[in-house]
Structure 1
Amino acid sequence: MRSPRPLPAAIALVGVAAVVAVAVWRPWTGSAEAASGPPQITVSRSQCGQGWTDAKTGRQTIIVHNTGDAAAEVDLVELSSNKVYGEVEGLGPNTSAPMDVQLGAGRYVIRCLIEDTDAITGPSVTLAGDAKGGPAVVAVTKNEMLPPVKQYEAAVAAGVAGLAVKTDKLRGDVDAGNLAAARADWLRAHLAYNSLGAAYDAFGDFADKIDGSDTGFHSLERGLWHNASAAGLKPIADQLAANVHSLRADLPNEQVDPNDLGLRAHEIMENALQFELTGENDQGSGTSLNTALANLDGTAKVLAILNPVLKPRYPDLPQVQKWEARVRALLTAHENTPVDRLNRTTREQLDGAVGELLETLAPVAAICEVRRGS
């Protein structure tokens, strides 16, 4: 389970039915050019939401410009429902970004979330017309996310405790020189680790020590499946078990960021697609598909915990469940099969199903993001 790749500094939210897309940064244009372009809204501590003078219903692009001296997040909110219809994150000073929205009749405001400043709400704008509003996110509060985070932290703590038992058994096999048993117990322990799911940041440096490409489980895998001696494997097994116990001891000092929980639901399977379904992580055991199935278990665990937040907010949640079941069926049917032995049809089916699952998982992070001022 590798550490996640960095996210873009800014995103634009086009609603929960669409994938969160990277915003295209544009320099602030001069007034003559601006007059003929999309509406341009000013963001700063003193001018939040100024300039939205020709508001209308329907699909539209609004240019948001930060005239202040600090980075800002900008939300477009419908007041009666507290739904967020558009969002730009990481908007730096003297930069602008497009916000693509689809608005129906209602009363809207721009909410400016600026570093070291309480949420600022701009002037309200009332829209009338027959156009239907697009998908939107019902803002999530920190209090709503705290119970799922606590539940997840408890599940991770229990999982790491079980992992410690399994790595101790694996170490015992190697110490006894029973490498056949060690190979079987390596797989059990490795799958236990990869089913833990979304606790990447909470694991800190232990993630790479335990399951890095050349350390921990993978270093031991390489030796177990390439005729290394028990004596040569003993220091690796000892260090792996020690790192797992150190992780367990350190967990009470670590916390899962509420925003990470929704984000990791997508990243777990993104990493599985990149590292497991390509066979890149395989060091000889041929169990990458087993690992991908464990990753899917981790994703399912996160989704189950987030269900009270997602169910009233995400109409496409049944599609997530549909594609999760499809991926599970394919992986289960080919457990213990090395990736390079899959025929072309099966690989295309797997890649396609995981791709569909990732598409439906993409909005989860935006839906579960804790927003100041919500």
Structure 2
Amino acid sequence: MNPPHPPSPRRIRRTRRVLAAAAVLTVATAVTATVIVAGSGSGSSLAGADDAKDANGAADGLRHTAVEVSTGTCGRGWSRPQAGTQVFDLHNASSTASEVDLTDPRTGRIYGEVEGLAPGTTRPMTVDLGSGSYAFKCLQDDADAVTGPTVVVAGTRPQGPAAAPVNQHDLIPPTLAYQKWVGQRIGELAAGTGTLEADIDRGDLAAARRDWLTAHLVYERMGAAYDTFGDADATINGTAARTPGAVGDPGFAGFHRIEYGLWHGEAAASLRTPAAALDSAVRTLRDGWPEQRMDPAAMGLRAHEIVENAEQFELTARTDYGSGTNLAAARANLDGTRAILDQLRGLLAPRDAGLARLDAALDRAQAALDAQQHGGAWTPVARLPHAQRQRINADFGDLLEQLAPVAAIFEVRRTA
């Protein structure tokens, strides 16, 4: 007996955090009063003996300052602030886990964050301090948020990267707009699977191969909605286990089941049932979509996941069942990434100084894929010249780095 077919790869979520690549956000302080520091980084006359060790550089060559985290002593330990890149070693002195943000107390912009700081543990926060106001905010489990004293770095030195926090309410309008866009695509998808079924019913497999790709690419553009699709995703776009005979598993269904048959010489009669099942699943999804609700808090992360999954499954041809169209699918995935970024752009533009670099990275990745389409046919991944395959992989790697700040910016943070 063949093993059960795995879920659609689009529902496999990798657990590594993307926040680290979102640029080192800056830091804030706490003492018992406001401290003003010269923009040149000179020490303050208010410094105490407890901060003498701050001047000592660590092995990384950066200035380190020990900062205490608790509801009663949030930010204690920093009394000689200075500008520049440095490290705050945050120690959780409480009995519960904590999140620590470095904020501008006037605007709420976040310059640095550490999450999941366990009791009794110490973790570093690397920041680039420019001229401005800073305060540590300690958000401990089952307790109100506490903001420590404000520290002011005087002068004209530019501040490091920061982002105004985004709340759930901010994300509702773009989420609803994107959900409406997905509904329109599902309508296109239903028309496409209906055409594909009709091709197969009349035995026109040449037309079926053409129309299979058209419909499949519509589905590949909707990546941010796959989790909301639930079990329908596996039914529509599931894959077979990578074991001998797994493609014969009755649970192997949807686009890839039909792809396997169309490009492995199966007769039209053997594909009629899978084609009808695919069309039925799509129409059920279309009819129920108005009742679905996407999670606004996941919108920024989905933009990153679409490209991550394209890199993992399309650029490796792990989801090729004969058509050799993985690069076309990856290209459709880029369209899907643009679609969600278009809805988020109004919130993203004032928060992401690297937005132009992100747009350029998308353009490069798109151009690299478009170059592999020749007269309507796509180069299979296995036939890519080595240099071109490396170029495409590098472009997607760069794009993932540029998308990491988007996931960080749109993470809904606790504020109270």
Q: TM-score, normalised by structure 1?
A: 0.86
Distance change (3 Å), C-alpha of 1:10 and 1:308: closer
Computed over aligned residues only, the root mean square deviation of the Cα atoms, in angstroms, reads 2.8
How far does residue 197 in structure 1 lie from its aligned partner after superposition? 2.7
Distance change (3 Å), C-alpha of 1:294 and 1:249: same
1:40 alignment partner in structure 2:
66
Matched ranges for 1:33-182 at <5 A? 38-128=64-154, 131-182=157-208
User: 8 Å contact 2:263–2:322 — kept in the other structure?
Assistant: yes
Aligned partners of 1:98 and 1:164: how far apart in 2? 51
Post-superposition CA distance 1:75-114 (Å, at most 9, x none) = 1101233221101123334433211111123221122333
Aligned partners of 2:194 and 2:403: how far apart in 1? 35
How far does residue 302 in structure 1 lie from its aligned partner after superposition? 1.3
User: 8 Å contact 2:237–2:256 — kept in the other structure?
Assistant: yes
User: 8 Å contact 2:306–2:336 — kept in the other structure?
Assistant: yes
Aligned partners of 1:299 and 1:359: how far apart in 2? 14
Greater Rg, structure 1 or structure 2?
2
1:326 alignment partner in structure 2:
364
Matched residue SS, 2:286:
helix
User: Would you say 1:257 and 2:257 are equivalent positions?
Assistant: no
User: 8 Å contact 2:21–2:404 — kept in the other structure?
Assistant: no
Post-superposition CA distance 1:258-297 (Å, at most 9, x none) = 2321112122112112211222211100111110110010
Matched residue SS, 1:199:
helix
How far does residue 207 in structure 1 lie from its aligned partner after superposition? 2.2
User: Would you say 1:15 and 2:23 are equivalent positions?
Assistant: yes
Distance change (3 Å), C-alpha of 1:286 and 1:14: closer
Instruction: Please say which of residues 7-16 and 313-322 is displaced more in the overlay.
Output: 7-16
How far does residue 212 in structure 1 lie from its aligned partner after superposition? 2.2
Matched residue SS, 1:357:
helix
Post-superposition CA distance 1:7-60 (Å, at most 9, x none) = 336955763799xxxxxxxxxxxx9xx998733333344443344344332211
Any unmatched runs of 5+ in structure 2? Answer: 1-8, 27-49, 59-63, 241-251
1:23 alignment partner in structure 2:
none
Aligned partners of 1:208 and 1:94: how far apart in 2? 44
Aligned partners of 2:383 and 2:18: how far apart in 1? 40
1:248 paired residue among 286, 295, 301: 286
Aligned partners of 2:364 and 2:157: how far apart in 1? 36
Distance change (3 Å), C-alpha of 1:322 and 1:12: closer
1:350 alignment partner in structure 2:
392
- Runs of 4+ aligned structure 1 residues displaced above 6 Å come to 34-37
Q: TM-score, normalised by structure 2?
A: 0.78
User: 8 Å contact 1:11–1:89 — kept in the other structure?
Assistant: no
User: 8 Å contact 1:161–1:248 — kept in the other structure?
Assistant: yes
Instruction: Please say which of residues 358-367 and 107-116 is displaced more in the overlay.
Output: 107-116
Identity over aligned pairs, percent: 45
1:212 paired residue among 224, 238, 259: 238
Any unmatched runs of 5+ in structure 1? Answer: 19-30
Aligned partners of 1:312 and 1:126: how far apart in 2? 23
